[in-house]
Amino acid sequence: MNNGNIFLDLLVRFAPEGTPSWLLDLSAAGVGVGILVAMVSVIAMFCVWMERKVAGHIQCRYGPMYVGGWHGWAQSIADGVKLLLKEDMIPIGADRPLFVLAPALVLGSIFAALAALPLAPGVFFADIDLGLFFILAMSSMTTIGVVMAGWASASKWTVYGAMREAAQVVAYEIPLGISLMVPLIVAGTFNLNEASALQSGWYGMHWYIFQNPFVLPAFALFFISALAETKRAPFDLPEAESELVAGFMTEYSGIRWSFFFMEEYAAMFLMSVVAAVFFLGGFESPFTSLARDVFGEQHFLASLTAGLVLLVKAFGGIFLMMWLRWTLPRVRIDQVMTMGYKYLTPLALLCVLGASIFEALWLGVA
Amino acid sequence: MEPASRVFYTLVTLASLLALGWGAFSAGAPGVSFALFAILTLGGGLMCIWERSVVRSAFSLMATFLGVAGLFLLLGADFLAMAQVLIYVGGILALILFGVMLSPPDLNERSLPRVLGGLAFAGGAAIWLGLRISASVTWATAEELPPMTSHAEEIGVGFLSPEQYVVPFELAAVLLTVALVAAVYIARRRSIDLFPEEDA
C-alpha cells in the first residue's frame, strides 16, 4: 500500500496470469480516473449544498430545507438531475466545435490537477515528484478553457468575461507561484506526500507556517491569489452577474453549464488542499500524532485519521472562501489589476527574500 | 464547414490514423503515445496555419504546446514538460488570446496555387530532412532507454552551483528584468505623448 499506485497493486493481485503490463497500467489508470471523477462530483455537490447553507445563514435565512428531509441535504442531487434533463442549447452564431470543447477542457484540466493530490499517507492517484508544479501547470489550463467558452459563445457579455479572466489570471498566477515558493524553500520538495510528511513532530504542530516567520504572510498572499485564480468573490469579475449577466458562461445551459460550476468547486478544493499541505501541516495535527501513538504508525485507522484531518482542513479553507464571498463586495477590474501587480507580487517577492535569509542565517542552511 | 476545410481535415485525420497504426505496429504502447503526442503537435500546427480566424489559430496552438510537453515527458524531461505547459499554455497563450480575441476573421478566399505550393514545399522539406536525419542518426529503441526519473534536483543544482550555470542563469535573469523595465518605460512614454492634455 505504501509503494506506488494502490489501484495497480490491487489489479496485479487479482489479474489472471499473463495479462500484458500495458493493459494493467491502462486499467489501473481507468479505475483511478473513475474514482477521481466520482469523488470530485460528490465533493462538488456537497460544496453546492454547503454554499447555499452558508449563504443562507450569513443572510439570516435557512437555505434549502425540504429536499431529502434533513436540512435539504438532497437539494444538490435534485439540481443535478434537473441539469441533466435540461435542454442543451448552442447559439446559432457560436463557434460550435470550440463551444463544445470549452467545458470539457475546463473540467479535464482541473481533474488532471486533482490527480496529484494525496488522500492519506501512502494513498494517492499519482505520486508525482513535481506534484505542485504539475498542479499549477494543469490548473493554468482552465484559463484557456474559460477564454475559449467566452469567445466561442459570440456574445458581448461572454467576450468581456473572457477578457477579464485572461487578464486576471495572468496577473495573479505570478503572486500565486511566488508565494508558494516560500513554503517550498522551507520544505525543499515539490512532492505533496513528502511535503506533508516533513511537518510531523512537535506533536503534529510542526507546520510550515510555524517553521519560518515569512510563511504566514506568504499564506495570506497565497490565499488572496487563490481566490482570484478560482474566480471567487470578491474577484468573480469574469462572472460578475450584476454587470455581465453570467460572464463567460452566459450562453451555456444544462449539463455544460454545470461543468463550469463543478470546475469552480473542484478548483476551490484543489487550492484548499494545496494550502493545507504547504502551509497548514497537511496530514499532521495533534489528532494525527495521537492516532499514530495509539494505533501504531502503519495502522489503517492512523491513515484514516490523517486523511480526515486533511479533509477537515480543506473544507475549512472552502468555508473561508464561502464566508468571504457572502461578506465582501466585488472589487473593480482596475482594483484587481492594481492589487495583483502593485501589491501582491512585490510583497510575495519580499517574503521569498525574507524566508531565504531566515533559512540561511538562523537555521544555517546555506 | 467549407469544402476546402473538409478536404484538409479529412486528410489530417487519415494521416493521424495512419501514424497511430504505424506507432502501435512498430513499437506497441510507447509507439502509440509517441504517435498521439506527435499528432497533437503537428495537427495543432497545421490547424494553426490553415484556419482563417486568428483566434482559432491561437487555440490550436494549445494542442501544439501540449503535444510538445508530452514529447518532453516521453524523453524523461518532466520538469521541462511541466514548465512548457505552465509557461506556454498558462501564460503566453493566454496573453496571445488576450491580444487577438477582438480581431475579426480573415474572410479572403484561399488561393489554390498558394496552398498547393506550400504543401509541396513542406512535403519536400519533410522528405529531404527525414532522409538526411535517418541516414545519420542511430535511434535507441524503447528497451534501451533509461528508466524515467525526476531531474528537478539536477536542474536546480546545475543552475545554482558556481561551477556550472550560475553566471549565465543570473545574466539571463538580469536581461529579462531589463527587458521588463524597458517595456514599462516605453509604454509609459507613449501614453504621455498620446495624451498631452493629461499632464496639465
User: Is B25 found in the same domain as B97?
Assistant: yes
Residue located via cell numbers 482542513: A313
Q: Quick check: is A53 in a domain?
A: no
pLDDT per residue as tens digits for the range A227-257: 988 888 788 877 777 777 777 888 888 888 8
Q: How much is the pLDDT for A3?
A: 43
How far B77 CA sits from the closest chain A CA (Å)?
Answer: 11
Residue of B nearest to A101 (CA): B59
Structural domain boundaries, residue B27: 3-104
Choosing from B104, B136, B164, the residue where a domain stops is B104
Indicate whether B145 belongs to any domain.
no
Q: Are B32 and B98 members of one domain?
A: yes
What domain range includes position A130? 93-361
Q: Give the number of domains in chain B.
A: 2
Contact status of A207 with chain B (Cβ, < 8 Å): no
Give the nearest partner residue to A148 out of B28, B59, B91, using CB atoms: B59
pLDDT tens column, B162-199: 788 888 888 999 999 999 888 888 877 655 555 555 55
Q: In whole numbers, what is the pLDDT of chain A averaged over residues?
A: 83
pLDDT attached to residue A1: 32
Chain A: give the shortest CA distance to residue B91, in Å. Answer: 6
Shared-domain flag, residues B29 and B96: yes
Note whether B98 and B164 are same-domain residues: no
Q: Is the pLDDT of residue B109 over 80?
A: no
Q: Note whether residue B31 is domain-resident.
A: yes
**Chain B hits for A95, Cβ within 8 Å:** 53, 56
More confident residue, A200 or A108: A108
- The C-alpha atoms of residue B17 and residue B6 are separated, in whole angstroms, by 16
Contact B79 A130 (CB under 8 A): yes
Cβ contact, residue pair B78, A143, below 8 Å: no
Q: Do residues A231 and A328 touch, judged by C-beta distance below 8 A?
A: no
Nearest chain A residue (CA) to B101: A151
Same-domain pairing of B89 and B19: yes
In a domain, A307, yes or no: yes
B101, B102, B103, B184: best to mutate for the A interface, most A CBs within 10 A: B101
Q: Is residue A161 part of a domain?
A: yes
CB contact under 8 A, B94 and A170: yes
Beta carbons of B85 and B69 less than 8 angstroms apart? yes
Beta strand residue intervals within chain A, DSSP E: 118-120, 123-124
Report the number of distinct structural domains present in chain A. 1
- Kindly state whether residue A347 falls inside one of the protein's structural domains: yes
Q: Do B82 and A137 touch (CB under 8 A)?
A: yes
Give the pLDDT confidence of A303-352 residue by residue, as tens digits: 888 888 888 999 999 999 999 888 888 888 888 888 888 899 999 999 99
| Interface TM-score (ipTM) > 0.90 | no
Which amino acid type is present at position A347?
A: L
Inter-chain CB proximity B98 and A159 less than 8 Å? no
Instruction: Report the pLDDT averaged over residues A115-137.
Output: 81
- CA angle in degrees (0–180, nearest 5) for B176-B182-B187: 130
